[in-house]
Structure 1
Amino acid sequence: MHILFIPSWYPVSRSDVGGSFFREQAQALHKQGCQVGVIYPHFSSLRNGIFAKEKHGIPEFEIDEGVLTYRSYGKNWFPRFPVGIKKLWEYFGTQLFEKYIRTHGLPEIVHVHSMLYAGVVALRVKSRYGIPYVVTEHSSAFARGGVTNSSLRIAEKIQHGAARAFSVSKSFSINLDKRLPRGDVPWGVVPNIVSQKFVDAPIRKIKDSQGFVFLNIALMNKNKNQKNIIKAFAKYFLESAHVSLVIGGHGNEMNALKALAKNLGVAARVKFPGMLSRSQVLEAMSTADAFILSSDYETFGVVLVEALALGKPVIATRCGGPQSIVEEGDGILVDVDDVDELGRAMVRLNTEYSVFNPHEIRARCIERYSEPVIAESLIKTYASVISKDPNSSRSLNELSVA
């Protein structure tokens, strides 16, 4: 089966973590014997400088662990104008698509990751070449009311043209059904995968006398709400010298979080290692005792399934995605923006740690989110869509590439 991913964001280097779960899903499908390609026109912000040194307009190709990957680079000249952004994606995305098929042939199906604005490329490809596409939506902007009416109209056209549409969690699909109803074929759910690297890593750091480490890894913005973790930690573990907190990541809230830890008297036991690579995330999770997600809203929560794959119990807010992830025995769910409930959950994990069996936690995670499980589910979906589409078997020779 030949599958082409068109993501709305994607890693531009091996060290880039943005969209890394799209990349890992593409690689998982390749491992299952599929031919998988990715095309990604990257548009950087004008705030980086109009004349900043970048590979403007020059397509870049690599075979990334078996995945045929094409990127191009340009500026987002219309950051506040959805129609302008749509035109940029249509033009540069179509150019990349035509370059891709000249070498690798037509894909049988296109998979769009996040509709705005990769979906406009898939819609154009479907119109011109008759190739069906499916959508997986990831952007929390739809649920948080952050999508303008003009962008919503573009998304409506994209989802209307999709053979199937999914989100990454049940609560998010329910929300999308209200905003972008699909009639008789409602929004389904296909969760993100957990990378095989987390599944293969040894289970480490069972609680011992040397201390207890809580870990959070996320962008440092207001939605991630790490300030509540620090407040709970200071309130419930102020005198617990053996308990520490690590907050990995970066963002515009970092200085405020460091100041809060200092003001609350816990700066010596709250560490900020900064931005972490994928391998550093794995190492940090492996050596922690428990993971905390404190967000106001999440469509899924990839870091949660990564922690579970390493056998770590988790604490997560009931902010959307986590309710579909955290099962009995995996950890504790708490209300959004409730410092005391979060603090009590942290105390419970620390004092009742032996109740949470790391090997059972990992087994449940593998059963739901491992690469083979999600990849096989996707392949069945693709096959169903292709078999029902009369144009899906058309060859490159039957179509004009020009």
Structure 2
Amino acid sequence: MNVFIIPSWYPSTSNPIYGIFNQEQAEILANNRPDWTIGISTWGQGDERFLLRALDWRSPLKALKKYPFEDIQLKDNLGVYFTPAFTWTRRFKKGNITGIIRANRKSLERFIVDHGKPDVISVHAAYPGAIIGKALSQEFNIPFVVTAHMSPFPFAEFIKNGEIKRLIREPLLQADALIATSQSLRNKMKSFGLSNIHVLPNPVDTNYFSPSGRSASSKTIILSIGRMEDQKGIDMLLWAFSKLSHNDIELRIGGGGTQLRSYQKLAMSLGISDSVTWLGSLSKSEVLSEMQSCSFFALASRHETFGIVLVEAMACGKPVLSTKCGGPEEIVAENVGLLCEPNEESLAQGLEEMCFKWQEFDPQQIRKIAENKYSGAVWMKQVEELFKDVIGK
């Protein structure tokens, strides 16, 4: 089977963790199906070199001339097809969607020369992915599947008068199948009139994310990793942490973003700076090391379509604490951790309880649950069945 992937978000030199889960899912496909050929289409998603700004428009122009296209073979059956395109605000000419479609068309044409026509186009996120997928599907007569990732779904800018704007509504309605990463997301999508929605939780590489075997620290270490943006609720987490009655507890926070400085100032004002370690943006190997070393993982998000970091921590045998914010309610059961309401008081109570009982959880049982429900092999069977069904139609 030939699969052509169009990810709305994808890692770049300037933003190495931007949409990294899309790259990881492609690698899971390639590893589990060596007889499949997979191409990833990129055009500079989130890459500073191709973001066109009024104050600095010359740099992207130079970059576009310097990088006409580039194809990179990641594995024998997995390659990246890069054709650069400008990106700018969606308020002007829909963010250059015409140019982005043109770039993806060129990448698809090179994939066809190398491997033949794809059997299916796998799109990640409604904008701009679903728009690109619809255009190429119609032009090349290839079925396309869209996995929804927006959190919340859809972003506010894509809603008008309580309905999804036509820009992304039509591609979603015309997709051969839609994928929601949780039942919660599926329900939200259905509330906007979408149908033919299949629930496939995001996979985790449980071979990579695994327990270290090292002895746990005598100190209670709480780990939280995510973008430093309002959605992730780091402000609530800091406030809740400041209310703990325990001593000898460390909160380690990983991730970068626009709110990092304000969160650091908040920690100072709460008097907890000495107990909070700011890790900044982390590589995949650094995430693994932090998860293997923590006592438990805490997710304080205001809304999540899934919650992949929870499953990564579980694969490392770690109990988890999460707010009830959508996807996590389907991940966190009593034998893997605790759920709390998405507010400061409830989160403080959850942290307090987890600090007392995190050692009571069974790491082997937690990991087993992650393997049985979220491993690449389990996800692959579901994806293969869906793709074959779509192709058969």
Measured in 1, the distance between the counterparts of 2:151 and 2:258 equals: 19
> What secondary structure, in the 3-state scheme, does the structure 1 residue paired with 2:325 have?
coil
Verify the 8 A CA contact 2:298 2:321 in the aligned structure 1.
yes
> What secondary structure, in the 3-state scheme, does the structure 2 residue paired with 1:245 have?
strand
Map residues 180-199 of structure 1 onto 2, 5 A cutoff: 180-182=193-195, 185=196, 187-199=197-209
Unaligned runs of 5+ in 2: none
> What secondary structure, in the 3-state scheme, does the structure 2 residue paired with 1:276 have?
coil
Q: One-letter code of the match for 2:187?
A: I
Map residues 113-262 of structure 1 onto 2, 5 A cutoff: 113-143=124-154, 145-149=156-160, 152-182=165-195, 185=196, 187-206=197-216, 210-237=218-245, 240-262=246-268
Measured in 1, the distance between the counterparts of 2:311 and 2:213 equals: 14
Which one is further off, 346-355 or 245-254?
A: 346-355
Verify the 8 A CA contact 1:313 1:330 in the aligned structure 2.
yes
Which protein has greater RCO, CA pairs closer than 8 Å, 6+ apart? 1
2:69 to 50, 54, 59: 59
Map residues 264-279 of structure 1 onto 2, 5 A cutoff: 264-279=270-285
Measured in 2, the distance between the counterparts of 1:245 and 1:353 equals: 15
> Against the structure 1 CA distance between its residues 305 and 82, is the aligned structure 2 distance closer, same or farther, given a 3 Å change threshold?
farther
Shift of 1:14: 11
Q: Deviations over 1:308-360 (max 9, x none)?
A: 111111111111111111122111111112x2221121121121123211110
> Against the structure 1 CA distance between its residues 243 and 134, is the aligned structure 2 distance closer, same or farther, given a 3 Å change threshold?
same
Unaligned runs of 5+ in 1: 389-402
Measured in 2, the distance between the counterparts of 1:275 and 1:64 equals: 23
Q: One-letter code of the match for 1:49?
A: D
* Residue of structure 1 equivalent to 2:321: 315
Shift of 1:83: 3.7
Measured in 2, the distance between the counterparts of 1:374 and 1:336 equals: 29
Shift of 1:221: 1.1
Q: Deviations over 1:340-392 (max 9, x none)?
A: 2211211211211232111100100111111111112101111111122xxxx
Q: One-letter code of the match for 1:362?
A: R
Verify the 8 A CA contact 1:109 1:382 in the aligned structure 2.
yes
* Residue of structure 2 equivalent to 1:26: 26
> Against the structure 1 CA distance between its residues 147 and 24, is the aligned structure 2 distance closer, same or farther, given a 3 Å change threshold?
same
> Against the structure 1 CA distance between its residues 143 and 204, is the aligned structure 2 distance closer, same or farther, given a 3 Å change threshold?
farther
Aligned residues: 380
TM-score, with length taken from structure 2: 0.91
Verify the 8 A CA contact 1:301 1:322 in the aligned structure 2.
yes
Verify the 8 A CA contact 1:205 1:289 in the aligned structure 2.
no
Measured in 1, the distance between the counterparts of 2:255 and 2:319 equals: 20
Q: Deviations over 1:225-262 (max 9, x none)?
A: 1111111111114xx43111011111121122111211
> What secondary structure, in the 3-state scheme, does the structure 1 residue paired with 2:385 have?
helix
Q: One-letter code of the match for 2:58?
A: F
Which one is further off, 69-78 or 220-229?
A: 69-78
Q: Deviations over 1:159-190 (max 9, x none)?
A: 222111011111111101111422xx3x2211
1:380 aligns with 2:385: yes
- C-alpha root-mean-square deviation of aligned residues, in Å? 2.1
> Against the structure 1 CA distance between its residues 371 and 144, is the aligned structure 2 distance closer, same or farther, given a 3 Å change threshold?
same
Shift of 1:151: 7.3
> What secondary structure, in the 3-state scheme, does the structure 1 residue paired with 2:204 have?
coil
Measured in 2, the distance between the counterparts of 1:178 and 1:171 equals: 11
Verify the 8 A CA contact 1:46 1:75 in the aligned structure 2.
yes
Measured in 1, the distance between the counterparts of 2:108 and 2:257 equals: 34
Q: One-letter code of the match for 1:236?
A: L
> Against the structure 1 CA distance between its residues 307 and 262, is the aligned structure 2 distance closer, same or farther, given a 3 Å change threshold?
same
Which one is further off, 355-364 or 159-168?
A: 159-168
Verify the 8 A CA contact 1:203 1:311 in the aligned structure 2.
no
1:333 to 333, 339, 343: 339
Verify the 8 A CA contact 1:311 1:358 in the aligned structure 2.
yes
Shift of 1:45: 2.6
TM-score, with length taken from structure 1: 0.89
* Residue of structure 1 equivalent to 2:119: 108
Measured in 1, the distance between the counterparts of 2:255 and 2:199 equals: 28
Shift of 1:300: 1.1
* Residue of structure 2 equivalent to 1:289: 295
Measured in 2, the distance between the counterparts of 1:247 and 1:373 equals: 30
Measured in 2, the distance between the counterparts of 1:380 and 1:355 equals: 39
Q: Deviations over 1:57-103 (max 9, x none)?
A: 61111111341111122322453136453312222211221122122
> Against the structure 1 CA distance between its residues 202 and 246, is the aligned structure 2 distance closer, same or farther, given a 3 Å change threshold?
same
> What secondary structure, in the 3-state scheme, does the structure 1 residue paired with 2:158 have?
coil
